[in-house]
A and B are shown apart, each in its own frame.
Chain A
Amino acid sequence: MAGTDEKFMQISMGPQHPSTHGVLRLLVTTDGEVLSGVKPYIGYLHRGLEKIAERLTYPQFTPFTDRLDYLAAMNCNLAYAMTVEKLLNVEIPRRAQILRVIMAELNRISSHLISFGSFSADMGAFTPFLFGIREREFINDLFEMTCGARLTYNYIRIGGVSQDIPEGFIDKTREFLDYFPAKIKEYNELLSFNAIFIKRLANIAVISPEDAFDYGVTGPNLRASGIKWDLRRAEPYLIYNELDFDIPVGKGEMGKVGDSWDRYMMRIYEMEQSANIVRQCLDMLEAGDYTAKISKVLKPPAGEVYVRAENPRGELGFYLISDGSAKPYRLKIRAPSFANLSIITKLARGVMMADLIAIIGSLDIILPEIDR
């Protein structure tokens, strides 16, 4: 970085800044409005989750996974539960599997709603943010009905889910699903196809498929680059192979494939698909157990597993080593946002200050997951 050159100004963006989505610090080198380099500094939210895992029993760590990607706590719960289950080699009842998919997809919608909203706020339009929050309230209410929590659910547990869905849940979910498509249309009219919005995002920060592979970009950001890679299809888990849904990929509708607009739009398309999945799951729901019978004290056999799941922000992976005791020997978390953030140095070279905000917003990173 040409930081010491007098021609450039170094400016620290964050850790407190309105649009770094948490406590991210970006050391920005600028020549006026044009950036010559960006260097992310992370760790302000480091809690040592991986180390904590070594001191807790397997079930005790589940609530900590809520604090990874707190906007998609269900999905994090799910990935962790699947990891331990693979180690234990237990069979999950079908009803539990369907419930898990319903919760994971609802949480995907609510996570994407926040992503959509905060991105629009970054772009200077504040109203869509509140619209996103409004719809998210519905999902939060559904989750509150189910498990009592509105943010950190701790609902998907090892072996199944913590409790069955309450009475009225299915009706209320259907009500939401009927109401939601009209709102997506509203978002598109208000923001997605707004001329200013498109002008700000089209052809900005294009991620080529090669770059996406090199930097380990996953999730909607990868699919925006035109690569049809979704773990729900590529390595189906739970009942995803029985479900009928599309995997939207970036087509460069407004500019080049993999530009910021494509990345933004992936989330809108995915919300539609997730709503579709939830609807199918509600039809498939049948009576049964909501959890497998597993012992109170879990002592998985010695061994190691790596399980990954498609989170709203990309592939969340847990690498778990068991030494046969009640506590993990080692837990490594592969956080999607961490890999997605790493590409920012490459993307944000020679762009303008306002584009940097668009890049951060379109990558949709979340800091607790990066810092862990």
Chain B
Amino acid sequence: MISLIEHMTAGLSNAGPFMRIVVTTIIMLVSGVIVLAVALLYEGVATYAERKVAGDIQARIGPNRVGPYGFLQFIADGVKLLLKEDIIPFYADKWLFIAAPYIVFTASFAAFVPLSYSDHVYVANLNVGILYMIAISSVVSMAVLMGAWGSNNKWSLFGGMRAVAQIVSYEIPIILSLLAALIIPASLTMKDIIVYQSGGFGIFRWLIFNNPFTLLAFFVYYIAAIAEVNRTPFDIPEAESEIVAGYHTEYTGMRFAFFFMAEYGDMFVVSAIAVTLFLGGWQIPFIGALSMPLWLREVLEVAVFFTKIFLLIYLMMWIRWTLPRLRVDQLMELCWKYLTPIAFFNLIGASVWVLLLNGKGVYDIIAGLLIH
């Protein structure tokens, strides 16, 4: 997609400035719509998958009425949510209440943009990719607090306070463990990071295998990421048995659906970051080095990228339907007493590793020894 944009804008260099703006805007809009469609489709499929996985784990069937194997259940759900009565509580702070779901959804969706889905399929190859994603996903905590406060409901307030405390706290181990990996490719661009991980049969140069510190950093990141997206065992902001539904207690219909979709969007985004940074992104394992037609390669790369993400999401679902929930103080304890120190240690360790070995990974060292 980006190469298409580049080609077209390159051809426009002779056109007038007005023309260039118009065409660029149209291209941006079209690619935005495409990404939105993909994101929404993914969210639908993910809700269906969640319910099927839950059914599987809980010795029941799950949705099986709408469409083959109940696959179209998410459309039925979406229609139901759209048709539901939109309730704004009388004592709610109307503007905050209305704005919050949109901000949550926008922030979650905006994080889809800098992802590199394959060698040539991406929307924006931002030079601050990771930084942008971390920044944009922090907006969620603000919007959650807006919605929670705006609802004028004590349970919502509880949920909002918990959510903000949790998201803000867990961003620290997330960023620290991301940094431990980022210093190796020394780039914030999603594509560059993935390209750096090429070679080694498409597996061994993944940053997770680069050195022991990145391996540990991956796990720290993944645990913190589950907390960041409020999933069990860290679903404290919306702990239904404690505080009803947390910050979205008062939301109904489509407004609720926005929160719901944002949660699944966030799951995708944090998994995509993990895949990009630690698991080789769209590098095709084993056949990454073989030559093949470009279109086939692109299709395979996209498929590999999504497969890796879905595996991580499946893991999140598996964890969700297995473990009980932590208490709020235990959650903070886990963050500040365990994950953050480990992440710091990782960062220092990885820095020393890079400094001493010039960024060579374990695979490079072993391969170097074998060649000698």
Contact = CB atoms under 8 A, between A and B. Distances in A.
Interface of A: 9, 11, 17-19, 32-33, 120-127, 130-131, 134, 190-191, 194, 196-197, 199-200, 352-355, 357
A260 to B, nearest CB: 12
Among B158, B239, B241, B327, max chain A CB count under 10 A is at B241
B154 A33 contact: no
A32 B161 CA distance: 9
Contacts of B60: 130
A190 B324 CA distance: 10
Contact of B325 (A17, A18, A123, A130): A123
Contacts of B58: 126-127, 130-131
Contact of B328 (A197, A199, A352): A352
Contacts of A126: 54, 58, 321
Among A19, A33, A131, max chain B CB count under 10 A is at A33
Among A19, A123, A191, max chain B CB count under 10 A is at A123
Contacts of B155: 11
Contacts of A357: 241-242
Given A124-B325, A200-B326, A354 B59 contact: no
A130 B59 contact: yes
Contact of A123 (B158, B243, B321, B324): B324
Interface of B: 54, 57-60, 154-155, 158, 161, 232-233, 235-236, 239-244, 321-330
25 contacts: A11-B155, A17-B244, A18-B240, A32-B161, A122-B241, A123-B324, A124-B235, A124-B241, A124-B324, A125-B323, A125-B325, A127-B58, A127-B322, A130-B60, A131-B58, A190-B322, A196-B233, A352-B327, A353-B242, A353-B243, A353-B328, A354-B242, A355-B327, A357-B241, A357-B242
B324 A18 contact: no
Contacts of B329: 33, 352
A17 B326 CA distance: 20
Contacts of A18: 240-241, 244
Nearest to A124: B325
Nearest to B327: A354
4 closest cross-chain pairs (CB), A and B:
A124-B325, A125-B324, A19-B241, A123-B324
Contacts of A122: 241
B59 A124 contact: no
Nearest to B60: A130
Given A126-B321, A131-B58, A194-B323, A199 B330 contact: yes
A196 B331 CA distance: 11
A196 B326 contact: yes
Contact of A125 (B154, B158, B242, B322): B322
Contacts of B154: 9, 11
Contacts of A353: 158, 242-243, 328
Contacts of B243: 353
Contacts of A196: 233, 323-326
Nearest to B161: A32
Contacts of B322: 125, 127, 190
Given A17-B244, A130-B59, A200 B328 contact: no
A295 B18 CA distance: 102
Given A11-B154, A124-B233, A200 B242 contact: no
Nearest to A126: B321
Contacts of B161: 32
A32 B154 CA distance: 11
Contacts of B325: 123-125, 196, 200, 354
B64 to A, nearest CB: 16
Contact of A131 (B59, B232, B240, B244): B59
Contacts of B239: 124, 354
